[in-house]
A and B are shown apart, each in its own frame.
Chain A
Amino acid sequence: MQQIIDKLIDRYAIEPIQVRRNNQVFVTIEKNRLPDVLTFLRDYENYTHLAFITAVDYPEIEKFQLTYMLHNYETNTDLGLRVLLDRTEPEMVSVHHLWEQVATYQRELREMFGIDFPGSPGLNESFALEGWDEIPPMRRDFDTKEYSERTYFPRPGRKTYDPREYMKQKLYPEKKEDK
C-alpha cells in the first residue's frame, strides 16, 4: 500500500492522503485529474475493479464529494479517490469509457444528486424516480418528511399518552381530583 501512495505522490503530487487501514486509503484529488489517475491505477497498478461511485452532500461548504472506490484483487487493497465539486453547478468528467458500468452509477447520481456527467450514455433517462419534478431527493436541503406528508396522504396517527400520567390517572383517579 505504501508503494502506491508513494507513486501517487510522485506522479500526481497528491498531498492529503488519509490512511484508514493497512489496506484502505483515501485520497482527495482535483476534478480534472481524475481520469488520468483512474487510468493509471487501472492499467498500471492493477486496480481493475471499480466498486462504486458515491456522493456526499456538504451544503455547509457548498460542495459535493464524489468517492470512486477501487479495488485491487492481487494485493487485496482498496483505494478511494475523492473529488470535491462545486454545489451550485455540479459537473464531473464522465469515466464511462474506462468501465462501462459507470454509466449506471452516473445516471443514479444525476437523478439523486443532480450531478451532471456530460457525454455519459443514457444520463437523462429516469432511473428510479419517474417524472420527478422537485430538487433531487438525496440533497440535504430536500426535506423528505415534509415532501412525504405533502404528497403521500399520511395516515393520521393513533392517540398517544404519556405512560406515567396515564397510569397515574388510571390507578389514582382521586388524587387527581385533589389537585
Chain B
Amino acid sequence: MDNKDIKTKPKLANDGLAEHEKALFCDARPQSYKPLGKYVEKFLNWARANSLWILGYGTGCGAIELRPLMTARFDMFRWGLAPRPTPRQAGVFVIGGYMSVKTLKRVIRSYEQMQGPKFVIGLGSCTINGGMYWDSYNTINRVDHYLPVDIYITGCMPRPEALIAGFNKLKELIKEGKTDGQNEYANNFDWYKANQKKIVKDWNMPDYNW
C-alpha cells in the first residue's frame, strides 16, 4: 500500500446502495499502477500489446463490425486479438458506437471490473461527439467524459480494416507506454464519477465495482 490516494483521500461513500448492502461491497478507491523498472515495463508492454483480449460486449451497432474480424477473411487472431466473455478476463473494452445512458451504466460497471492494464477503444463517430445521435435525449455525446479512451476509430460505421488499423495503433501506443487510461481513471476518479453520476440518475450500484 504505497499508494498516496488510498491514505489521503476518503473512502467511497457508496450512497447509491441500500443500508444492508453497504457491507457487501468494497469502499476502496481504485489504485493507480506504479510502473516497474524501465526494461521490465518495456517487456511487459510488449507482452500486453500482443495479447489484447476484447470484452465481447456489444454496446452499439459497431458490435456488428467486430464479428467480421473474427471470421476467416479478416482473422483478428493474427494480431493476438481474441474475444472474451467476461470483463475479468478482458483487457480491451471496445465501445461499439452509440452509448445510451442505460448502456453507460453497464459499461462503467464492466470497465471497473476489468483487470488492469486495461484499454478502451471508442468505435465510430458516436463515441466521439454523438454522431448522428448528437441531439438525442438518451445518447451520450463524449465517451471520454466517463471513461478514459485510449483511441478513437472514426467512421459510421468503420470498416473492419479501419478497426484493424485502430488495434494496430493501440498496440503501437502500448509498446511506447502511452496508454495510461487506468491511471488516468484512478487519479481523476472523482471527476469521472461526478460526470457519470450526473448522467446516470438512478445510481444503485457501488461507486467502484471490482
Structural contact, B137 and A144, CB atoms closer than 8 A: yes
Q: Is the CB of B129 within 8 A of A137?
A: no
Q: Which residue of B lies closest to A146 (CB)?
A: B135
Number of residue pairs across A and B with beta carbons under 8 Å? Answer: 58
A126 within 8 A of B: yes
Complex Cα spacing A171 to B105, Å: 51
User: Would B195 and A155 count as touching, CB distance under 8 A?
Assistant: no
Whether A148 pairs with B137 at a CB distance below 8 angstroms is yes
Interface residues on B, range: 20 to 34
Contacts of B130 in A (CB 8 A): 148, 152, 154-155
With A153-B141, A154-B129 as known contacts, state yes or no: A131 contacts B198, CB within 8 Å: no
- In the assembly, what is the distance between CA of A159 and CA of B136, in Å? 23
The answer to whether A133 touches B201 (Cβ under 8 A) is: yes
Check A148 against B135 for contact (C-beta < 8 Å).
yes
Residues from chain B with a CB closer than 8 A to the CB of A151 are: 198-199
Q: What is the bound-complex CA distance between A131 and B100, given in angstroms?
A: 13
Contact B137 A130 (CB under 8 A): no
What residues of B have a CB within 8 angstroms of the CB of A157 in the complex?
A: 129
A147 at the interface (CB under 8 A from B): yes
Q: Mark B191-210, 1 if CB is under 8 A from A, else 0.
A: 00001001111100000000
Are A152 and B142 in contact, with the CB atoms below 8 A?
A: yes
Chain B residues with a Cβ under 8 A of chain A:
100-102, 105, 128-130, 134-142, 145, 195, 198-202
Residues of A within 8 A of B (CB): 126, 128-133, 137, 142, 144-145, 147-149, 151-155, 157
